[in-house]
Chain A
Amino acid sequence: MRLKWSRLDNAAKIYPASSTKTDTHVFRFACELNEPVNPEILQSALIDTTAIFPVYQYILKRGLFWYYLESTTLTPIVRQEYKPPCNELYDRNQKTLLYEVTYFGNIINLEVYHVLTDGTGAMNFLRILVSKYLSVVHSLPEPEIDYDASHMQMADDSFKRYYNNKPLKRHRLIKEHTKAYRIKGPRFAENRIKIIRGMVSVSEILKIARGYNSTLTAFLAACLIQAINEEITVMSKKYPVVLAIPVNLRNYFKSESARNFFSIVYTGFDSCVDNIPFDEIVKKVNNDLKHELTVEKMSDNLNLLYSLERNFFVRIAPLFLKDIVLKFAYSRASAQSTATLSNVGIIKLSDSIAPYIKSFDVCTGTNRLQVCICSYLDNLSVNFTTPFISSDIQRRFFRKLTDLGLEVEITANQIADE
């Protein structure tokens, strides 16, 4: 069952307007196997998987007032990786699917345009794809996946479902957001982005985080804030270092949507003081997150964003005008944070196929600094993507981890003129 066309969900509406050649809003989930990938089997596994997710068989089109998704009969083709990671997937002059599956050596890559879905949706897709692929390759019975949603549940715009039209408490929502510190510096040619991924042991790092009375996300956020803080020039110290942290709303509101359903919370630290003790940063970040991560706050935020979409004047503005306004709104919003830290969480797969998988990782296209975290078994992958040539923040971050006694395994992509 597939809808002929569909509106974009509330969060997706900003992406087509604000996508650029570096900030592509394309993210990549990669699964590294213990053996080379067989493209023919991957292709047939992909076709089987698309049958489960008709919600991704769409192309993006421009209407007079809004973008919309139109159902398509295009079939995805598995290819060997042929272009830089997280490159643009949407071309307004060409009909293309909004996701792509590629492979290289032992790695299966799934790249998805954020208009289609968020990390949770893409992760479910990749989990099923990998399960199907491995069960064919090793002639295993296909494992049950703990994802249960009807096609209609998948296509659900959960922002709409949980919008309650409550009068907004303006003073609480529109806080005096000051401008955050912005990372600057020379960039790679051709809008290439640099990926530096560190692998650490989940159990080891959890032990250390617990030692600071902190959650894992808050601990890594604190490490990142400290790393950025140490790189700030004296002139920029008037700006605080702020991290934007996307939150999966499915943990707060019941939803099986395979489309976008997330919100963003902020945490930060003033950069004006020199040599801030690390445990103070950890404490501040934990407090911020505890304060922000409540159902009420999430609901307020959702109401604010959805009410904007429902506004009559917003609705009747023609698309080219909306594009300009949304682009501006996006740049205003991104000026409020220095970097984004996104924890996709634990990726679970059936025990029967676990021996064939080495690790998972996530990264995304960006025009500033983006850190994506995910874990599989005991492997925690912390993935930095950035268009900047300098890798000093990454160096400080990973040296911080090694100084705490962790073993870190680094993987990085090689860019031609590096």
Chain B
Amino acid sequence: MKSCVKCKVTVRGNRLNCPLCQNSLTGTGETDIYPHIPTIYRQYMKFFKFLAMGTISLGVIAIMLNIMLPQSGYWSLFVVCGIVCFWIMLAFFIPKRNNIPKNITYQVFFLAIFSLIWDYITGWRGWSVDFAIPIIFIVGIAALSIIPTLMKIPVSDYLICLVADALFGFTPFLFLLLGKVKYVYMSYICITLSILTFISLLLFERNNVLNEARKRFHL
């Protein structure tokens, strides 16, 4: 065992310096007590830095070009919006990448919101409420009914997501009431799917839904 003359203590392990006063130790060392843990290498950090650099330069170049060519309209705004949407989606996707059901729910939610905003700022042609939103929700509900079953995820783990997606599925009804929808078929298909999802949940998973609600909403 090593020892520090100045601190008058013995020191275990195979250190060169005293952990208390940093003076050099005397005596012979022994095996280490704690493992050496190397610094953590962040595998994907470089990739994300390049991605950030690439998208930001794209935005900056687009804005500059737009300023140089003012007669071409405000198109650089769309480039910037697109980049922002991309990063918002990524910011939600990456931390939740291990939780597929939650991920689907988030993606569905953001895609619907983004399509509404895009439709609005590009002069409201109604494609978002006619097609985009009902189709996104139909795909969401279908994905949540099929994928977890295939991946053998226990029902209680994705139940809340399925309920949330089925609730989203009723929003086309709101647009119908407000008279915003010109092409109504997709909206009706979406609402039908939502109703059927709810009925099947009530019939087959009633206890699970109640338990899950009790857990998540306990005061």
Contact = CB atoms under 8 A, between A and B. Distances in A.
Output the residue of B19, B33, B95 with the most chain A CB within 10 A: B19
Contact of A64 (B11, B19, B98, B217): B217
A409 interface: yes
B126 to A, nearest CB: 35
Contacts of A316: 219
B211 A395 contact: no
Contacts of A416: 36-39
A411 B39 contact: no
A411 B33 contact: yes
Interface residues of A: mostly helix, strand, loop or mixed?
Answer: mixed
Interface in B101-134: none
B9 A398 contact: yes
B215 to A, nearest CB: 5
Contact of B9 (A107, A409, A414): A409
Interface string B63-75: 0000000000000
Output the residue of B9, B10, B21 with the most chain A CB within 10 A: B9
A107 B20 contact: no
B20 A391 contact: yes
A61 B157 CA distance: 11
B178 interface: no
A11 B36 CA distance: 34
A399 B35 CA distance: 27
Interface band, chain A: 35 or more
A70 interface: yes
B8 interface: yes
A287 interface: no
B180 interface: no
Contact of B211 (A4, A65, A83, A391): A4
Contacts of A105: 31-33
Contacts of B38: 416
Contacts of B216: 63-64, 68
B95 A65 contact: no
A190 B40 contact: yes
Given A189-B39, A414-B32, A94 B98 contact: yes
A409 B34 contact: no
B19 A66 contact: no
B27 interface: no
Contacts of A61: 215
Interface in B155-205: none
B33 A398 contact: no
B19 A410 contact: yes
Contacts of B12: 409-411
A412 B15 CA distance: 9
A394 interface: yes
Given A398-B7, A398-B9, A414 B218 contact: no
B8 A68 contact: no
Interface string A387-417: 0000100110011001000011111111011
A408 B31 contact: no
Interface in A1-25: 4-5, 7
A137 B7 CA distance: 39
A398 B20 contact: yes
Contacts of B33: 104-105, 107, 411, 413
Contacts of B217: 63-65
A399 B9 CA distance: 8
A410 B34 contact: no
A412 B13 contact: yes
Contacts of A190: 39-40
Nearest to A403: B8
Contacts of A5: 215
B96 interface: yes
Given A398-B9, A410-B10, A104 B39 contact: no
B13 A65 contact: no
Interface in A98-142: 104-105, 107
Interface in B12-28: 12-13, 15, 18-22
A407 B37 CA distance: 30
B3 to A, nearest CB: 9
B57 interface: no
A85 to B, nearest CB: 7
B99 interface: yes
A83 B19 contact: no
A78 interface: no
Contact of B13 (A80, A394, A411): A411
Contacts of A68: 215-216, 218
A409 B15 contact: no
Given A189-B39, A395-B21, A409 B215 contact: no
A409 B98 CA distance: 45
Contacts of B37: 82-84, 416
Contacts of B215: 4-5, 61, 63, 68, 70
Q: 9 closest A-B pairs (Cβ-Cβ)?
A: A412-B19, A395-B20, A413-B34, A63-B216, A402-B8, A408-B9, A411-B12, A315-B219, A410-B11
Given A107-B33, A395-B7, A402-B8, 9 more contacts: A64-B216, A66-B219, A105-B31, A190-B40, A398-B9, A408-B10, A410-B18, A411-B33, A416-B36
23 contacts: A4-B211, A4-B215, A63-B217, A65-B217, A68-B215, A68-B218, A80-B35, A81-B34, A81-B35, A84-B37, A93-B96, A104-B33, A189-B39, A195-B34, A391-B20, A394-B19, A395-B7, A399-B7, A402-B8, A410-B18, A411-B34, A412-B13, A413-B34
